[in-house]
Amino acid sequence: MRLRGLIISLKELNIAKEKDLERFVMEDGLTELLDNLYSHGVQIINLDMYQADTPQKLETVLKLHQIRPEECLLLAATDRVLAIGPGLACLGYVNPAFPGQKLSGVKQVVEGFDEVDFSFLERVYQRKHGIPWVVMETERCLLREITLEDLDALYELYQDESITRYMEGLYENRKKEEEYTRAYIEHMYTFFGYGMWVAVEKKSGKIIGRAGLDHVQLPGETILELGYVIGKPFQNQGYATELCKEILKFAGKSLKCPALYCLIHKENQISIHLAEKLGFLWQEEIKIRQKPLQKYIKTLYNVD
């Protein structure tokens, strides 16, 4: 399932002043966006053209375009348009020409389109339908959001004692792990847009481990930690270095994060070596749940 249609009301995208409503003016970013969508095979469906002002009329219009409702994203600037497509994936738009709109139930709202492109719309669409985001790609791997279907592979990966020697494993109770994963997807990914992801080897399609970013609460501060785990069959092949380098770029450029941290058991020399190789500097020794951990920090300005 993929995004094939963007439903809009051109009238509601008009940013002309109220005294000049006969003119039609769109933001430059929106004009570029609509032009660009065609190159990605996305049809633009203008409700005004068909006088589609009810869900039933919209359904008829979509049939004419041979597109299913679940393949569409609704761009809504008013409550009126929002009511035409109940249940559709939706992006809200705050248009000053239409004040007082509630846009109830819309999880994501934009005030302009300078940073909105096909990938942005696709991710709004994917989030609605529970499709995991592919967050980044390296030479050999994809890093994407976890799904419940990944748990079989992860349980197999975590069976090796070397994996859990210095880190927590999965819940022994499978239902608890499923509940935790479901909540993680809903809250961590949805609210922050990042977290711990699964690493998939492109060549084989196999899950080889996990890597990503997580919040850690320390006395007096909350830090963003870089973490990873690579399954034993895939260790000593440079995967951890490859993945972590890409995550550092993501944290610096996309998240504008000033610094990342690593918390490493003092006996975990392999991870300490990797952290130092990546440019992390030792800061102090701390204890979390009575475990002595080495705290490393890396500033991320000018990450390239």
Please indicate, yes or no, whether residues 183 and 106 belong to a single structural domain of this protein: no
Would residue 211 count as lying in a domain?
yes
Mean pLDDT of 111-134: 94
Single out the residue in 128, 159, 194 at which a domain terminates.
128
Any domain includes 178: yes
Last residue of a domain, one of 112, 128, 144: 128
Answer whether residue 56 shows pLDDT above 90.
yes
Instruction: Judge whether 56 lies within some domain.
Output: yes
State CA 219 to chain mean position distance. 29
Q: What is the pLDDT of residue 167?
A: 87
> How confident is the model over 203-257, as pLDDT tens digits?
999 999 999 999 999 988 999 999 999 999 999 999 999 999 999 999 999 999 9
85 and 202 fall within a common domain: no
Which amino acid appears at position 8 of this protein? I
Which of 1, 136, 13 is CA-nearest to residue 67? 1
CATH code at position 103: 3.40.50.1000
119 and 256 share one domain:
no
pLDDT higher than threshold 60 for residue 21: no
Q: Give the mean pLDDT of 23-46.
A: 86
- Is there a single domain that holds both residue 214 and residue 260? yes
Region 26-39 average pLDDT: 86
Q: What is the mean pLDDT of the chain?
A: 93
Task: Please check whether residue 163 lies inside any domain of the structure.
Answer: yes
pLDDT value for 20: 58
Per-residue pLDDT, 92: 96
Same domain? 58 vs 139: no
Question: What pLDDT, on a 0 to 100 scale, did the predictor assign at position 303?
Answer: 53
How many structural domains are present in the chain? Answer: 2
Residues 75-84: tens digit of each pLDDT: 999 999 999 9
If asked whether residues 39 and 159 sit together in one domain, one would say no
Same domain, yes or no, for 272 and 287?
yes
143 lies in some domain: yes
| 203 and 188 both lie in a single domain | yes
Residue 11 domain boundaries: 5-128
Instruction: State the average pLDDT over residues 88-110.
Output: 93
pLDDT over 90 at 301, yes or no: no
Its pTM stands at: 0.84
Residue 25: count of CB within 10 angstroms of its CB: 13
158-187 pLDDT per residue, tens: 999 889 888 889 999 999 999 999 999 999
Of 111, 128, 145, which residue sits at a domain end?
128
3-state secondary structure the chain: CCCCEEEECHHHHCCCCHHHCCCCCCCHHHHHHHHHHHHCCCEEEEHHHHCCCCHHHHHHHHHHCCCCHHHEEEEECCHHHHHHCCCCEEEEECCCCCCCCCCCCCCCEECCCCCCCHHHHHHHHHHHCCCCCEEEECCCEEEECCCHHHHHHHHHHHCCCCCCCCCCCCCCCHHHHHHHHHHHHHHHHHHHCCCEEEEEECCCCCEEEEEEEEEEEECCEEEEEEEEEECHHHCCCCHHHHHHHHHHHHHHHHCCCCEEEEEEECCCHHHHHHHHHCCCEEEEEEEECCEEEEEEEEECCCCC
How many percent of the chain have pLDDT more than 70? 95
Same domain, residue pair 151 and 27: no
In a domain, 269, yes or no: yes
Same domain, 170 and 94: no
Q: What is the pLDDT of residue 24?
A: 66
22 and 123 together in one domain? yes
Banded model confidence at residue 30, pLDDT cuts 50, 70, 90 = confident
Q: Is residue 304 part of a domain?
A: no
pLDDT confidence of residue 19: 53
CATH classification of the domain holding 194: 3.40.630.30
Residue 273 domain flag:
yes
86 and 208 in one domain?
A: no
Q: Which residue has the higher pLDDT, 110 or 288?
A: 110
The confidence band for 27, taking pLDDT boundaries of 50, 70 and 90, is confident
Which pLDDT does position 304 carry in this prediction?
A: 54
